[in-house]
Amino acid sequence: MSSSAPASLVPQHVAIIMDGNGRWAKQRSLPRVAGHKVGMERARDITEAAGQRGVKSLTLFAFSSENWQRPFEEVSYLMDLFVTGLEREAKSLHKNGVRLRVIGDRSRFAEKLQNRMAEAEALTAGNTALTLNIAANYGGRWDIINASNLALAGKRAAGDSSALQEADVTPHLALADQPPLDLLIRTGGEIRISNFLLWQAAYAELFFSSVLWPDFSAAELDAAIADYGQRQRRFGKTGEQVAETN
242 pLDDT tier (thresholds 50, 70, 90): low
pLDDT of residue 72: 86
- As a whole number, mean pLDDT of residues 107-132 equals 95
Q: Provide the annotated active-site residues.
A: 19, 67
End-to-end CA distance of the chain: 22
Eight-state DSSP code of residue 16: E
Whether 3 has a pLDDT exceeding 70, the answer reads no
Asked whether 153 and 173 are in contact (CB, 8 A), the reply is no
Stretch 110-132: mean pLDDT: 95
Max distance between CA atoms of the chain, in angstroms, equals 61
Residue 2 lies in a domain: no
pLDDT at 126 over 50: yes
Q: Three-class SS string for 26-44?
A: HHCCCCHHHHHHHHHHHHH
- Give me the chain's average pLDDT, please: 92
Q: Which of 168, 170, 201, 166 is nearest to 184 (CA)?
A: 201
Q: Say whether pLDDT at 2 is over 50.
A: no
pTM here?
Answer: 0.91
Q: Would you say residue 118 lies in a domain?
A: yes
Per residue in 139-195, pLDDT (tens digit) is 999 999 999 999 999 999 999 999 999 999 999 999 999 999 999 999 999 999 999
Residue with the larger pLDDT of the pair 86 and 209: 209
State how many domains the chain has: 1
In terms of residue numbers, what domain contains 238?
A: 7-245
Q: What CATH code is carried by the domain that includes residue 157?
A: 3.40.1180.10
**1 in any annotated domain:** no
- pLDDT value for 84: 86
Taking a C-beta distance cutoff of 8 angstroms, is the pair 53, 45 a contact?
no
